[in-house]
A and B are shown apart, each in its own frame.
Chain A
Amino acid sequence: MNGISEVTERYLQLYKDNIEKISGISSKYINSFRAGAFEKFRELGIPTKKNEAYKYTNLNIFFDHDYKSYFLPVESDFVKAEKFRCDVADLDTHGIVLLNGFYPTINDKLRQLPSGVWVGSLNEAATKFADKIEKHYGKYAKSETDGLIHLNTAMASDGIFIYVPEGVILTKPIQIVDLVQADDDMFNQHRNLIIIEKSAQISLIICDHTLSPHKSLTNAVTEVFVGENAHFDIIRVQNEHNNAGKITHTFIHQEKNSTASSNNMTLHGGLIRNSTYHHLGGDGAESHSYGLFLADKFQHVDNFVNVDHAFPNCTSSQLFKGVLDDMATGAFNGRILVRPGAQGTLAYQKSNSILLTDDAKMDTKPQLEIFADDVKCSHGATVGQLDSEALFYLQSRGINKREARLMLMFGFAHEVIQNIKIEPLRDRMDNLVMQRLKGDLSRCASCVVRCT
């Protein structure tokens, strides 16, 4: 490809400078992907607005920056990580902490939960569960257009590994607290692999927090295999400061009759891009993709969803909502693809955004691509203000305008939140969103950074 951009060059160089160290601490199998992915990244580069999938997001604000470090761990880092405590009341989970994308050594690198579920470091699992890694790693995170996925494959060396054996139903959710903490401006990447075998069931909560005030950029890839008849829920809670850039790519591959849901709750963050890929790879699979974001100041939040109906009789839904204040900008890019032969498809998509100021901006691009006829697909998108009819209805019951607006905004957001099945987390989200909407809270309780 002619003309590699300056910003891409920066990351090519980063690879060259670090690849030896990275390879040195990773398993052979994971390393075997690196050279190919690097070439692919060189070809595709850091996505620009010319890339349809990034049409409304300027990544350069975060990518074109001289990060002081590409994170590689030292022991002392992990001690700090272990001190972090989640402050959600009554939330009983199997907790794991990930620091700058690495799995702390302070615990066992691989831990077996009572039910036979394994959680731990991907890098460690690559040796211990070589067969499983070889079966699934790199199989779902594929892209012909997004260089960032290849950048991750080329350079990520650790992340979370979760293995749920056949038939195991884990009642307590697993919670990954994904911390970013550094003394300098830092770029980091991690890679998660989650394998849920036949008829198994888990819920996963990922909480993204940035603890240090420095500029940081994360480019994370998560691959999920959901076996036949299995259930999987993933909830991502993002509450970061304005100096934090977070790019996540989540690939959920589903087998026959499986059910999966994804819920991206973005409360705060400088630049957020969540790409969620749902691959309905077996008859009768069902997927749900939810997203809520509240953005203000100069924040930018972009949700990209791709639902691929590759097999017949699958059902999918998408519900994405955003409230944009100040100069914030938002984007929603949702695609439903129904492949030839995927008869009996039901696919539904809804995207609603509210602009609170004249300087806020929202770009929406829903897409339907349908190659089978026995389908019912629909999408609806709105961008606008609060419904004036609803506002009047509330006022006519004696509720003042400010309160009525707040109620409507909360109701608007709650439609997404109500899909969280874990009750304490759902309540916590309601609470955080309410506070955020009231303007009482512009940062996460445990955050040390005061965003202005």
Chain B
Amino acid sequence: MEKDQDKILSEVTTGEYKYGFYSDIEMERIPKGLSEDVVRLISAKKMEPEWLLEFRLKSYRHWLTMKMPTWPNLKIPAINYQEIIFYAAPKQRTNVNSLDDIDPELRKTFDKLGIPLTEQKHLAGVAVDAVIDSVSVKTTFKETLAEMGIIFCSFSDAVKEYPDLVKRYMGSVVPYTDNFFATLNSAVFSDGSFCYIPKGVRCPMELSTYFRINSANTGQFERTLLIADEESYVSYLEGCTAPSRDENQLHAAIVEIVAEKNAEVKYSTVQNWYPGDKEGRGGIFNFVTKRGMCKGENSKISWTQIETGSAITWKYPSCILRGDNSTGEFYSVAVTNNHQQADTGTKMTHIGKNTKSTIVSKGISAGMGQNSYRGLVKVLKNATNARNYSQCDSLLLGDKCGAHTFPYIEVDNQTAIVEHEATTSKIGEDQIFYCNQRGISTEDAIGLIVNGYAREVINKLPMEFAVEAQKLLQISLEGSVG
């Protein structure tokens, strides 16, 4: 039984990455390397206003003084920033309005990924901003949303059309000095999505951004800014994939969310960057800074993430609970298989009174994967009646992987109640046996059990994506059962 299980386990963990194709799109690339000139060039290419160039230069100069952090529980190979191409865009007018203007090859690419750029009926519930390498190529349902006053467009368009909003909010949650990769992003970010939900508006459809890395040797540095004005609601989803390559590619993004009084933002991620091959060659370095500010009273920000891709993941979607009665949530499933590494978690900073936060983290390690949860729950002195509940579970499939938990709890107010629970265990043999006895194969049993284990988090995803996420989970663990 044990042997069989090991065999099945190793089979399950050797599943193939399904989005590893490369599209031959005519691209414009700038020379590789990073310098002040490159920063200026990116800004010029995007025809940016002076203030934004200044922001980039300020960031770049600060970045030069910084060192790569060493505290994550990750083995990161040295990154040569002079070997990376910092800007690559399909040769065409970006963000076209007519579909006919889009390179057919590009359309094919997104079709293949299951992200149609046409506003199809059956996907009427989802508006997509499609980003390839450094630029946004198409935002769907823009007009429909505009009727309600919702702004949903590429970051570049937002800079041109809504400079005041961008100026006011950009860097307000993640300052340009925040951390090594956020500062790098602030210097070289190319595009991303921008979203503004006006006062009192409930966004009628899911907004989503699909990120695709296509070109070789490029880094992707996008920036998302999401503002939910008073009494508004939006549910936002991002997905991402990349071709299979032997080289590592860097993805260093920033997501900033601002929730004003009584606003609610739900932000979901299904991260499926190329994870590298079975020997650990290639894959994306996913170093992302995501942070939301519950600025107003009764505001709520909820992060849900399904992390199955990337060679190395380093991200901590966080909430600053400034408004009284505000709520922060973090639901995460992170899978590391083969040689993947992940150091992920969240920070919940309780500043306002009666603030609440919930953390549910489910780590799954297989193959040689190393999976760390790292979290901080901080209750400041004036955060009366703060409540936090954290639950971090780790599941181990196989004896060569690792699962680690690093929660930090800092409480400076006596009325706070902070509870943290964590468990680590392997998949239960008796559970598998129970399934076997009912005629379910060990492989299916593991699939069932893993899905059951992750259900609490998957259920938080918008319906359209929950099924997708479930499949992804199964694929990521294919060949890993054990």
Contacts and interface: CB of A to CB of B under 8 A. Distances in A.
A pairs with B: yes
Given A363-B410, A367-B406, A385 B399 contact: no
Contacts of A362: 409-411
Interface in B35-55: none
Nearest to A350: B421
Interface string B400-422: 11111111111111111111111
A373 B399 CA distance: 5
B406 A365 contact: yes
A358 B416 contact: no
B416 A383 contact: yes
A375 interface: yes
Nearest to A367: B406
A374 to B, nearest CB: 6
Q: How large is the interface on A (under 10, 10 to 19, 20 to 34, 35 or more residues)?
A: 35 or more
Contact of B396 (A369, A370, A379, A385): A370
Contacts of B482: 373
Contacts of B407: 364-367, 381
Nearest to B407: A366
B406 A361 contact: no
B94 interface: no
Given A368-B403, A385-B414, A358 B409 contact: no
B408 A365 contact: yes
Contact-residue size bin, chain B (C-beta under 8 Å from the other chain): 35 or more
Contacts of B399: 340-341, 343, 372-374
A370 B404 contact: yes
A379 B420 CA distance: 8
B397 interface: yes
A358 B413 contact: yes
B289 to A, nearest CB: 22
A384 B394 contact: no
Given A373-B399, A375-B425, A378-B424, A384 B381 contact: no
B402 A370 contact: yes
A365 B409 contact: yes
Contacts of A93: none
Given A360-B414, A371-B402, A377 B409 contact: no
B313 to A, nearest CB: 18
A71 to B, nearest CB: 36
A376 interface: yes
Contact of A384 (B418, B421, B424): B418
A238 to B, nearest CB: 23
A332 to B, nearest CB: 9
B421 A378 contact: yes
* Of listed B409, B415, B423, residue having the most chain A CB within 10 A: B409
Contacts of B471: none
Nearest to A56: B410
B91 interface: no
Contact of B421 (A341, A355, A360, A379): A379
B404 A373 contact: no
Q: Which of B401, B406, B422 has its CB near the most chain A CB atoms (within 10 A)?
A: B422
A370 B415 contact: no
B449 to A, nearest CB: 14
A364 B73 CA distance: 19
Contact of B424 (A357, A360, A363, A370): A370
Given A369-B404, A372-B399, A383-B416, A377 B421 contact: no
A153 to B, nearest CB: 27
A402 B382 CA distance: 26
Interface in B350-409: 381, 394, 396-409
A370 B413 contact: no
Nearest to B423: A378
Contacts of B406: 365, 367
B401 A384 contact: no
Choose among A52, A343, A371 the residue with the greatest number of B CB atoms under 10 Å from its CB: A371
B397 A383 contact: no
Contacts of A368: 394, 403-405, 422, 424
Which of A355, A363, A370, A376 has the most chain B CB atoms closer than 10 A to its own CB?
A370
B160 interface: no
A382 interface: yes
A161 B424 CA distance: 39
B345 to A, nearest CB: 12
A363 B407 CA distance: 11
A370 B408 contact: no
Nearest to B414: A355
A212 to B, nearest CB: 34
B426 A375 contact: yes
Contacts of A382: 417-420
Interface string B96-122: 000000000000000000000000000
Given A358-B381, A361-B411, A373-B401, A366 B422 contact: yes
Contact of A363 (B401, B408, B420): B408
B420 A377 contact: no
Contacts of B417: 382-385
A343 B415 CA distance: 41
A398 to B, nearest CB: 27
Given A363-B408, A376-B425, A377-B425, A370 B418 contact: no
A373 B398 contact: yes
A356 interface: yes
Interface string B237-250: 00000000000000
Nearest to B419: A382
A369 B381 contact: no
Interface in B186-205: none
A306 to B, nearest CB: 14
B420 A380 contact: yes
B425 A355 contact: no
A366 B374 CA distance: 11
A173 B403 CA distance: 40
Interface in A13-59: 52, 56
B214 to A, nearest CB: 37
A366 B420 contact: yes
B93 to A, nearest CB: 51
A362 B377 CA distance: 12
A311 to B, nearest CB: 15
Contacts of B420: 364, 366, 379-382
Contact of B409 (A357, A375, A383): A383
Contacts of A384: 411, 416-419
Contacts of A381: 407, 409, 418-421
Interface string A122-154: 000000000000000000000000000000000
Contacts of A355: 411, 413-414, 416
Contacts of A360: 414
A375 B421 CA distance: 16
A245 B12 CA distance: 56
Interface in A151-196: none
A358 B421 contact: no
Interface of B: 71, 73, 381, 394, 396-426, 482
Given A362-B410, A378-B422, A384-B411, 20 more contacts: A343-B399, A355-B411, A357-B414, A358-B381, A363-B410, A364-B407, A364-B410, A364-B411, A369-B73, A372-B396, A373-B401, A374-B426, A376-B424, A378-B424, A379-B422, A380-B421, A381-B407, A382-B418, A384-B419, A385-B417
9 contacts: A364-B410, A373-B396, A373-B426, A376-B423, A378-B424, A380-B421, A382-B417, A383-B411, A385-B414
Interface of A: 52, 56, 340-341, 343, 353, 355-358, 360-385
The 5 closest A-B pairs by CB, nearest first: A373-B396, A384-B417, A355-B414, A364-B409, A368-B405
